[in-house]
Chains A and B, each alone.
Chain A
Amino acid sequence: MGKIQTMLQANKLAQGLLLAAFILVTAGAVYLIDRSVTAFLLMLASLLLLYYTSFSNGMKWSIAVFLLVIVIPFATSGGTSRESYMEVATQCGIYVAMALGLNIVVGFAGLLDMGFIAFFAVGAYTYGIFATGQANNFISGELFPLSGGSFWIFILIGGFIAGIFGILLGLPVLRVKGDYLAIVTLGFGEIIRIIFNNLEKPVNITNGAMGLSSIQPPDLFGFQFTFPHQFYFIVIGILLIVIFAVRRLEHSRLGRSWKAVRENEIAAQSMGIPLIRTKLMAFAIGASFSGMMGVVFAAKQTFIDPTSFTLIESITILVMVVLGGMGSVPGVILGASLVTILNLQVLTEFTSWLNQLSQQGIFEVPNALSPSKMQRFIFGMILILVAVFRPHGLIAARNRKLPPEAVKDPSPPLSKPEVQPD
């Protein structure tokens, strides 16, 4: 086994062939077999396989884009369950982008934000209010709903407004120490939800608990986006931009400041890093990713109400970041995809399987224990287990490597390897 591994590591051609074979088999399976969740999941796993190959970065990216834009949409177009696959893939993309946003706040800057979904809600409501007749209640002139063409601008506006909310939250909160932050952001998430839930008087802005319905779908030169397989391309487009931005940010001056602040605030400050501004930037940029995806979410669902933005959603995103590995971009992408698929596919499939079993009278599973209700338990266990046994997550964050000469230097390394908690 070890031999094969070393051989594979050395031989890029073999890796490429293996990957191509894997993609062909899984994509073919998805195309030919109807409703095969396993094949679909394996096809998505080819992206993970791609990550572990030793191709150059540019090569990996081109293959990934090729897979995402051509192979996956084509393979899923075969069966009748196309829309449900695409729905999962779209949701995955939305959550990956949000998790990457939270990763900036939690992973890079080390600020535990427990109310992250609030920014998603801000983005969603920004588009929702103006893309329905709702805005007529407080802006005169019967200008609304805006047409679907405005969606593209609203992606930016939603991100911008969520960013402003991030700063508004950050300004008072960032003066306090780290562990208060978690509680205050938690409270903030609840406040936003309560306000959206009740802001129907004195002026009806959010339509309260009734939510906003029939939001305009996006529209590009007369082409309307309504189905998940169409939204998929919007999400992939935004996602690629977000990943690119995050990778650039990570190694920029700002990104290094975030990491410095995370490791030691006082040391960072004495090195001349403006503490408040650095933290505020983390909040604002993280929030704006979430806000952009909120706009997409509102347009995709065409209906939003405050129940989509509860605490459990914030926790879901946190679980994605922690499971994948705080501060590690590929890890967070993996974590977000895993948790989304677990939520949307595995738990529901497992529940219906159990239901079938109990209908056939093989054994009885009480309704209270049905897996689709066990999200909190599963997420809680993931948080504890990862924290205790694998604090760096599935794919640990790595800093940029030194050139080989520096590594070969026989003198002992400057910093000891990190002490594992006992």
Chain B
Amino acid sequence: MFSSILQTLPQVLIDGLALGAIYAVVALGYTMVYGILELINFAHGEIFMTGAFVETAVLFIFQGAGWLTDMPAWLSYVLIILIAMLVTGALGVGIERVAYRPLRKAPKLILLISAFGVSFVLQDVIRFIAELKTGNYIISTPQLFDQRYQLPLSSISSWFTDASVKANTLFIFAIAIVLMIGLDIFVNRTKWGGAMRAVAQDRETASLMSINVNKVIVLTFFIGSALGGSTGVLFAQQYGTIDPYIGFILGLKAFTAAVLGGIGNIRGAMFGGIVLGVLEMFASSNLGILTGGNFGAEYKDVFAFMILIIVLIFKPEGIFGKAIKEKV
């Protein structure tokens, strides 16, 4: 049993890291909005999904115009990511304006209900559009990179079997690292980032210090949503098929990642995402082996939620978060 787990370990790690990078970038969106508004932006998972659909749409347009063959694949990839980021960023700002800003003084419960509403409307609107254009809402996207690299690990040690890496996986790592470092620098080193941190700490005081709170909130939504949308592109390229309901379960898991790292904490979200991705991949390939075939990969979602519940019970502030005493 142990040796069979060890044999697949390199492949599990590679796939897990790719999944984890996706979770991490989506989790950033949750954590940023939570940090600033103390709102779980439930529609974030749907923004991610919208990003995936924008990718497919743009890819089809590029294909129709014949640009895909003219441009190098990486260039069209980067272009698509930029377009998806712009569209989803604007979408995030629009959602904030329509569904969250009128409710800023309302009780939390009302705000959360509105967020759920937005998420369902988005799911169905995307379904209309996809079904109207293609006749089916489950869509498979053309792949930009289809190379695979073999890692001859079995020649290093007989413990392992060979693993393979998709070219797209490497691209995911690159993009995720660029986005995360970029965001970290933006939040910690720039004037706008400082304003963002100030609003997160104390909105009232920040507004007295001549910070335009509304602008900062809009910017936060734009960046958070753009990150979610860009991940949608990565996801669609990695897994090939998308449907309007992928955002829901992935959003939940990214939220789990954000909680795991400590919600409101940007570096924590990155860490939580990677950990969750690896754990989930490990569970989905090894749960069957570990339980003698009784509980298989179909329980991997259950496994992720168990992590969420366990974290919330034992360390609700997350691994990197600080426990905050509630003020009266």
Q: Which of A326, A366, A374, A422 contacts B124 (CB 8 A)?
A: A374
B103, A421: Cβ atoms closer than 8 Å? yes
Question: How far apart are the CA atoms of A272 and B150 in the complex, in Å?
Answer: 65
Question: How far apart are the CA atoms of A197 and B103 in the complex, in Å?
Answer: 38
Interface-side segment among A55-63, A87-95, A173-181: A173-181
In the complex, chain B residues whose CB is within 8 Å of the CB of A190:
249, 252, 301, 305
B124, A183: Cβ atoms closer than 8 Å? no
Question: How far apart are the CA atoms of A364 and B119 in the complex, in Å?
Answer: 29
Question: How far apart are the CA atoms of A402 and B23 in the complex, in Å?
Answer: 54
A329 → B minimal CB distance (Å): 18
Interface-side segment among A78-86, A383-391, A407-415: A383-391
Question: How far apart are the CA atoms of A368 and B244 in the complex, in Å?
Answer: 13
A188, B305: Cβ atoms closer than 8 Å? yes
B102 → A minimal CB distance (Å): 5
Question: How far apart are the CA atoms of A388 and B283 in the complex, in Å?
Answer: 42
Q: Which of A366, A374, A388 contacts B102 (CB 8 A)?
A: A388
A194, B299: Cβ atoms closer than 8 Å? yes
Q: Does A50 reach chain B (CB closer than 8 Å)? A: no
A384, B114: Cβ atoms closer than 8 Å? yes
In the complex, chain A residues whose CB is within 8 Å of the CB of B255:
183
**Given that A382-B117, A387-B111 are contacting pairs, would A422 and B312 also be in contact in the complex, using a CB cutoff of 8 Å?**
no
Binary contact track B123-138/A, C-beta < 8 Å → 1, others 0? 1110110011000010
Q: Which residue of the partner chain B has the closest CB to A187?
A: B305
Question: How far apart are the CA atoms of A266 and B327 in the complex, in Å?
Answer: 9
Q: Which of A178, A179, A187, A201 contacts B308 (CB 8 A)?
A: A187
A266, B326: Cβ atoms closer than 8 Å? yes
Q: Does A153 reach chain B (CB closer than 8 Å)? A: no
B248, A311: Cβ atoms closer than 8 Å? yes
Q: Which residue of the partner chain A has the closest CB to B128?
A: A368
Q: Which residue of the partner chain B has the closest CB to A392?
A: B110
Q: Does A261 reach chain B (CB closer than 8 Å)? A: no
Q: Does B219 reach chain A (CB closer than 8 Å)? A: no
Question: How far apart are the CA atoms of A187 and B128 in the complex, in Å?
Answer: 26
B291 → A minimal CB distance (Å): 9
**Given that A377-B124, A422-B105 are contacting pairs, would A114 and B312 also be in contact in the complex, using a CB cutoff of 8 Å?**
no
B117, A384: Cβ atoms closer than 8 Å? yes
**Looking at A106, A195, A376, A377, which has the most chain B CB atoms within 10 Å of its CB?**
A376
In the complex, chain B residues whose CB is within 8 Å of the CB of A376:
120-121, 123-124, 127
A178, B109: Cβ atoms closer than 8 Å? yes
A381, B294: Cβ atoms closer than 8 Å? no
A368, B132: Cβ atoms closer than 8 Å? yes
Binary contact track A73-117/B, C-beta < 8 Å → 1, others 0? 000000000000000000000000000000000100010101000
Q: Does A68 reach chain B (CB closer than 8 Å)? A: no
A203 → B minimal CB distance (Å): 9
B113, A112: Cβ atoms closer than 8 Å? yes
A192 → B minimal CB distance (Å): 10
Q: Does A235 reach chain B (CB closer than 8 Å)? A: no
Q: Which residue of the partner chain B has the closest CB to A186?
A: B252
In the complex, chain A residues whose CB is within 8 Å of the CB of B38:
179
Question: How far apart are the CA atoms of A376 and B132 in the complex, in Å?
Answer: 17
Interface residues on chain B, number (Cβ under 8 Å): 55
B103, A388: Cβ atoms closer than 8 Å? yes
In the complex, chain A residues whose CB is within 8 Å of the CB of B99:
384, 387-388
B50 → A minimal CB distance (Å): 14
B113, A322: Cβ atoms closer than 8 Å? yes
Q: Which residue of the partner chain B has the closest CB to A270?
A: B328
- Which residues between 295 and 321 of chain B lie within 8 Å of chain A, taking CB atoms? 295-296, 298-299, 301-302, 305, 308-309, 312-313, 316
B328, A266: Cβ atoms closer than 8 Å? yes
A184, B312: Cβ atoms closer than 8 Å? yes
A418 → B minimal CB distance (Å): 10
**Given that A180-B316, A183-B255, A190-B301 are contacting pairs, would A380 and B119 also be in contact in the complex, using a CB cutoff of 8 Å?**
yes
Q: Is the interface of A mostly helix, strand, loop or mixed?
A: helix
In the complex, chain B residues whose CB is within 8 Å of the CB of A114:
116
- Which residues between 350 and 388 of chain A lie within 8 Å of chain B, taking CB atoms? 366-369, 373-377, 379-388
**Given that A172-B312, A194-B298, A380-B117 are contacting pairs, would A369 and B128 also be in contact in the complex, using a CB cutoff of 8 Å?**
yes
In the complex, chain B residues whose CB is within 8 Å of the CB of A326:
109
A183, B40: Cβ atoms closer than 8 Å? yes
A320 → B minimal CB distance (Å): 12
Q: Does A343 reach chain B (CB closer than 8 Å)? A: no
In the complex, chain B residues whose CB is within 8 Å of the CB of A201:
293-294
Q: Which residue of the partner chain B has the closest CB to A419?
A: B105
Q: Does B118 reach chain A (CB closer than 8 Å)? A: yes
In the complex, chain B residues whose CB is within 8 Å of the CB of A41:
none
In the complex, chain A residues whose CB is within 8 Å of the CB of B105:
419, 421-422
Q: Which residue of the partner chain A has the closest CB to B111?
A: A387
**Given that A179-B40, A191-B305, A376-B121 are contacting pairs, would A369 and B132 also be in contact in the complex, using a CB cutoff of 8 Å?**
yes
**Given that A184-B309, A194-B302 are contacting pairs, would A112 and B252 also be in contact in the complex, using a CB cutoff of 8 Å?**
no
A112 → B minimal CB distance (Å): 6
In the complex, chain B residues whose CB is within 8 Å of the CB of A178:
108-109
Question: How far apart are the CA atoms of A368 and B149 in the complex, in Å?
Answer: 41
Q: Does B112 reach chain A (CB closer than 8 Å)? A: yes
In the complex, chain B residues whose CB is within 8 Å of the CB of A173:
309, 312
Question: How far apart are the CA atoms of A198 and B296 in the complex, in Å?
Answer: 9
Q: A112-B109, A183-B308, A383-B120 are in contact. List 16 more A-B contacts (CB 8 A).
A: A172-B309, A175-B313, A176-B312, A180-B40, A180-B316, A183-B40, A184-B308, A187-B305, A194-B299, A198-B296, A322-B113, A381-B117, A383-B113, A421-B104, A421-B110, A422-B105
Q: Which residues of B contact A (CB under 8 A)?
A: 38-40, 42, 98-99, 102-114, 116-125, 127-128, 131-132, 137, 248-249, 252, 255, 259, 293-296, 298-299, 301-302, 305, 308-309, 312-313, 316, 326, 328
Ranked nearest first, the 7 interchain pairs of A and B with the lowest CB-CB distance are: A383-B117, A380-B120, A368-B131, A380-B121, A377-B124, A384-B117, A387-B114
A-B CB contact pairs (8 Å), 25 listed: A114-B116, A172-B313, A178-B109, A179-B39, A182-B42, A184-B308, A194-B299, A195-B302, A267-B328, A315-B120, A366-B132, A368-B128, A376-B123, A377-B120, A377-B124, A380-B119, A381-B121, A383-B117, A384-B121, A387-B103, A387-B106, A388-B99, A391-B110, A419-B105, A422-B102
